[in-house]
Amino acid sequence: YLFTRDAKKVHVNGNPIAGADPQSYRVLGGAYGTDRDGAFYLDEPIVDADSASLRHLQGAYAADVRRAYWMGKEIRGATPASFRVLHEAFECSADEDEAFYRDVVIADVDPRSFPAGAGVTGCSAGGIAFTD
């Protein structure tokens, strides 16, 4: 992603980020950015995000003190304190209670049952596959 700014605007990939303050804007990584008043994914505001605590995790994932995000969208039900990315390319994540594909809960998957030390080899709305 290419972020630029001048005295009046902040841009990402040539598109203006409406409402972004060029003096306080900072790029977090993974297309996330914040300024003194808000948070953004690419050129879209992240509604109700806590810009002071927002941090980029991996790939399209970020979290603040209240929520976890995938591509700037809230992952409903995710607990940010225990949220972790399992595999960014497979868009797979989990917290202490649930697993997620993108921003959707993967039904009937308990993160406490994940095999210790196993890598993720696949992830979908239907489940997660691990190495042996």
pLDDT tens digits for range 10-46? 999 999 999 999 999 999 999 999 999 999 999 999 9
| Cα distance between residue 132 and residue 16, in whole Å | 46
Which phi and psi (to 5°) does residue 2 adopt?
-110, 110
| Cα distance between residue 48 and residue 59, in whole Å | 21
**Number of C-beta neighbours around residue 45 at 10 A:** 16
Specify the DSSP class assigned to residue 57.
Answer: -
Instruction: Please identify every stretch of the chain with a pLDDT value under 50, giving residue numbers as ranges.
Output: none
Give the per-residue pLDDT at 132.
Answer: 84
